[in-house]
Amino acid sequence: MSRRKKKHEHVNHERWLVSYADFITLLFAFFVVLYSSSQVDKRKMMQVAAAIQGGFQQMGVFSVSTGPDAQAKAAPAPNPGPPSFPRVINDLAPPGAHPKGDVPLSQIRNQLETALSEEIAKHQVEMRLAPDGLVVSLREVGFFKSGDAQPLPGAEKVLTHVADVLGKAGFQIRVEGHTDDIPINNSHYHSNWELSTARATQVVLMMVKQCGFQPERISVAGYAQYHPVAVNTTEEGRRRNRRIDLVVIAATPAAPETPAETSSAAH
């Protein structure tokens, strides 16, 4: 009886290539899907942009242009940002802290003192340094009737001088209304808040409409009796507190003056 020879099974050592090929195929398919998704999103964005542009053209916002510069013409102009103003600096700032092009407070003060010398001599105007900048105080006695917000005829002359000095250089100012602590209640104003704000507003309107000061460079505030510069226990102190302050905004904090320095400047 003859013996059958057992056949030895052949071991395939390359079977790992099948799994590797499957992995590569799946990886390829994954990247194809990612690429397709990105292309679809880009096409959708282009379709939305075209639809928006078509809508604006139908409304007449954009004119239709087919030239090579159409895209450049349709692009919105860049935002120029807020206007830049020359800065008023405090002369007492540390050396080297003043950038080029800044104007010292002393120069502005000298120009205003020259222009307003007559009103300063009459004690209708006084100047002082405050943390915000240079303050030009217009006392009530020369500019308003008691309890009224309508400027007196001589106010326009003073405000024109101020507008000429500050407007040519492009300075920003804040007009502040102040009163004493005596309550007011008449047919026009029921509180010092209303009176102080109304007076400051009238000064702003006069500077803009009659003196030609640029409106974007001026602001208004009313403080009633809560920012006094003198005591309200004396008549002189109350007279000083009833005022309009024109604050020339400083880029660096100014050192406040002592009462002695302020009074000497007023005289």
Q: Are residues 31 and 101 in the same domain?
A: no
* pTM score above 0.85: no
CB atoms under 10 Å from CB of 237, counted, come to 15
227 in the same domain as 97: yes
Which amino acid makes up residue 163? Answer: A
Please state, in angstroms and rounded to a whole number, the distance separating the CA atoms of residues 205 and 215: 9
The reply to whether 56 and 118 lie within a common domain is no
Alpha-carbon distance of 74 to 64, in angstroms, equals: 9
Q: From CA 162, how far away is CA 204, in angstroms rounded?
A: 12
Q: What confidence tens digit (pLDDT) does each residue in 83-142 have?
A: 544 555 555 444 433 434 466 778 888 999 999 999 999 989 999 888 888 999 999 888
Q: 22 lies in which domain range?
A: 16-74
Domain termination site, one of 50, 74, 98: 74
Residue of 79 and 16 predicted with greater confidence:
16
Within this chain, do residues 212 and 113 fall inside the same structural domain, yes or no?
A: yes
| Distance, CA of 137 to chain centre | 24
One-letter amino acid identity for 237?
Answer: G
> pLDDT tens for residues 232-253?
999 999 999 999 999 998 665 5
Task: Indicate if 35 and 149 belong to the same structural domain.
Answer: no
Q: Tell me what percent of the residues of the chain surpass a pLDDT of 90.
A: 33
Tell me the one-letter amino acid at 171. Answer: F
In the chain, the number of structural domains is 2
End-of-domain residue from the set 74, 101, 117: 74
Residue 136 φ then ψ, to 5° = -105, 110
pLDDT at position 114 is 92
Amino acid type, 181: D
Pairing of strands 173-178, 218-222: parallel
Reference 112, options 251, 212, 247; nearest CA is: 247
Q: Which of 42, 74, 106 is the last residue of a domain?
A: 74
List, in sequence order, every residue forming a beta bridge with 246; answer none if it has no partner: 136, 175
Contact call for residues 215 and 208 (beta carbons, < 8 A): yes
